[in-house]
Amino acid sequence: MIEHDGENIPTVGPKDPNSIKALYGFTYNLADGEVFLVNEWLINDIPVLVGETVDGLTVDVITFLENVTEVGLTDGTPHCRYRVTNRTKTNLRDIDDRSFYVKIKSL
């Protein structure tokens, strides 16, 4: 899970372009009775669904359960850095965006 301080966008370790389904995600502190209504992922500010690709990076899986959201990423263009954003909304909160950067290492 990625630690997000609410101010700075963290960078995760370099991803191998050949790795299969590298999982990334966030843990949210939800109040009693609070549930996700929206769990959307974006790559470089473009909304993506499972199987879609942006600039060479593909979303393989999207999950959310209780207070954890995850995205599985495959492929990616060597030396490229991507901004990946998890956009959520709950029954008690408006939109909350949490992002991280992932750089694809060279082969």
- Give the model confidence (pLDDT) of 54-91 as tens digits: 999 999 999 988 999 999 999 999 999 999 999 999 99
Phi/psi for 19 (5° steps) reads -70, 145
pTM here? 0.92
DSSP state of 32: T
Q: Is the pLDDT of residue 107 over 70?
A: no
CATH number of 11-104: 3.30.30.10, 2.60.40.10, 3.40.50.300, 3.40.1190.10?
A: 2.60.40.10
* Token pair for 52: 């879609």
The pair of three-digit structure tokens given for residue 25, joined into one six-digit string: 């995600």
**Is 74 in contact with 21 (CB distance < 8 Å)?**
yes
Residue 21 has pLDDT above 90, yes or no: no
Output the DSSP codes for the chain: -----SSS--EEEEEPTT-S-EEEEEE--PPTT--EEEEEEEETTEEE-TT-EETTEEEEEEEEETTEEEEEEEE--TT-EEEEEEEEEESSS--EEEEEEEEEPP-
